[in-house]
A and B are shown apart, each in its own frame.
Chain A
């Protein structure tokens, strides 16, 4: 369970996130929706240690990760994608995915410094696993392409592969289907379902309500940094407060 308790973050005078408590259970896809500027991305930044909290606490399983540095949080089993994609633009797709394996990229320091056989084997293994994952996402053709030259939809998939490479227990997806067509989105939906079935907890941030409703059992609604509703997608989307939040912008 990924547990947020009374989490707040103030930026300048703005309460970007204000007293948010929510649980992200394993094996489920939890939705987080809200109008632009509601604070969704900020919550992901807080969970992944990219930004310090103003108040509150975050626990992953039994461990307190409230103040842990970002790389520790990753090693504790958390991965994310970025809404404004952050790929290494000049590097190939496979190299971008390989960096996602960093958590498992182990070999003794001398071996790494001198590229001894054990280090070479490690590189070969990771390259194979990255290639397999790229094939699974239907992108073999682009494996040797610089990531910066790909379409939005493809770049999003590279982001997801890179996050998955660390084999996270919890995956935070910030608008993963923005810029994709329906066919691509459906393919991803199937993958997300499978990941949840494997026991991973997923937090899905999306503006496409149809997509959210089809995947999530539980949806939280954020507006002005505060949670204003939560429950089954169908109920939540009928909630007058939620409708008002979206219409009121």
Chain B
């Protein structure tokens, strides 16, 4: 038993961290913003915490708080221009944001360590801390879903014009979703920093973006269980067999194509819809009336 726990701790930690990033991505998609900025926001959080820890020797709690604030602040600022864009334009703008964060990170070597990254970050976030953060995030996302926010996000995502005529302030709601997404990404970025000893800028670039996006697409982007399922599958899968681990990017690529074409809602959402359809198909004949 003890052996087993030790052997699998790194995997559990990885899962918990990525679960947080997946929810950061999930929240914006759910509010109808086609943002791919999560990687950049996570990078901002991670480096805020890392720099505070290494250069200033700040207390980890301060680092986490600062990273969360930095993430949500950056997201809030980013949401202003994004509010004027839609669809592919938002996607392009947010990819540009990720690139800007990456380039500035490389350039600001005296502060961020440049291409070498940051080393010797005290390791303070263990499995327990990660679990608490992940559970907190899970509760927040779950709770929010059941209130006016979830209802408004739902309407915006499905039909913005309809939502607006029903009184939903799209800009405000999307800004809020963005700020939350940034806060969560920043928080988990900081945890990543305090968990991994070291940071390097390439960590939060395109491959990261793709991994996070894959969790949400595979699991489902409209229900809370989606990112959980997607992250679990994609984190555990490579552990099952060596060839799976060696071909990770290939698997992600094939998976993205197959899922978006044949299971476009992802696993969780499809299951929920199928279950609901079955429940309705059973009782009273009147229910069959179209």
Contact = CB atoms under 8 A, between A and B. Distances in A.
Interface of A: 48-50, 69-71, 73-75, 79-80, 82, 86, 88, 90-91, 95, 98-100, 102-103, 105-107, 111-115, 119-120, 122-123, 141, 144-146, 149-151, 162, 166
B290 A112 contact: no
8 interchain residue pairs of minimum CB distance: A115-B143, A70-B164, A74-B167, A105-B148, A112-B147, A103-B167, A86-B162, A119-B147
B280 A71 contact: no
Nearest to A74: B167
A49 B166 contact: no
Contacts of A82: 162
A86 B170 contact: no
5 contacts: A102-B151, A102-B167, A113-B149, A122-B147, A146-B280
A114 B147 CA distance: 9
B290 A149 contact: yes
A86 B170 CA distance: 17
Q: Using C-beta atoms within 8 Å of the partner chain, give the interface range for chain B.
A: 20 to 34
B290 A99 contact: no
A88 B154 contact: yes
A69 B155 contact: no
Interface in B262-290: 273, 276-277, 280, 286-287, 289-290
Given A105-B148, A115-B144, A146 B167 contact: no
Contacts of B152: 99, 102, 105
B246 interface: no
B203 interface: no
Interface in B12-56: none
Contacts of A90: 273
Interface in B146-183: 146-149, 151-152, 154-155, 158-159, 161-170, 180
Given A115-B143, A115-B146, A151 B154 contact: no
A48 B165 CA distance: 7
B148 A107 contact: yes
A144 B164 contact: no
Nearest to A91: B154
A146 B289 CA distance: 13
A95 B155 CA distance: 10
Nearest to A166: B167
Contacts of B135: none
B142 to A, nearest CB: 8
A105 B169 CA distance: 13
Contacts of A115: 142-144, 146-147
B240 to A, nearest CB: 33
A113 B140 contact: yes
A71 B290 contact: no
Contacts of A120: 146
Nearest to A90: B273
A80 B164 CA distance: 11
A126 B14 CA distance: 41
User: Which residue, B139, B140, B154, B162, has most C-beta atoms of chain A within 10 A?
Assistant: B162
Given A88-B155, A88-B158, A105-B151, A144 B280 contact: yes
B167 A71 contact: yes
Contacts of A114: 139-140, 143-144
A72 to B, nearest CB: 8
A123 B149 CA distance: 11
Contact of B164 (A69, A95, A145, A146): A69
A80 B165 contact: yes
Nearest to B152: A102
Contacts of B161: 50, 70, 86
A175 B272 CA distance: 34
Nearest to A113: B144
B154 A79 contact: no
Contact of B155 (A99, A119, A145): A99
Contacts of B158: 88
A146 B155 contact: no
A5 B5 CA distance: 74
A99 B280 contact: no
Contact of B148 (A50, A88, A102): A102
Contact of A71 (B139, B144, B164, B276): B164
A79 B165 CA distance: 7
A145 B159 CA distance: 19
B273 A99 contact: no
B287 A98 contact: no
Contacts of B168: 71, 99, 102
A111 B169 CA distance: 19
Interface in B215-274: 273
A155 B61 CA distance: 53
Contacts of A107: 147-148
Contacts of B287: 141, 145
Nearest to A118: B147
Given A70-B161, A166-B166, A122 B148 contact: yes
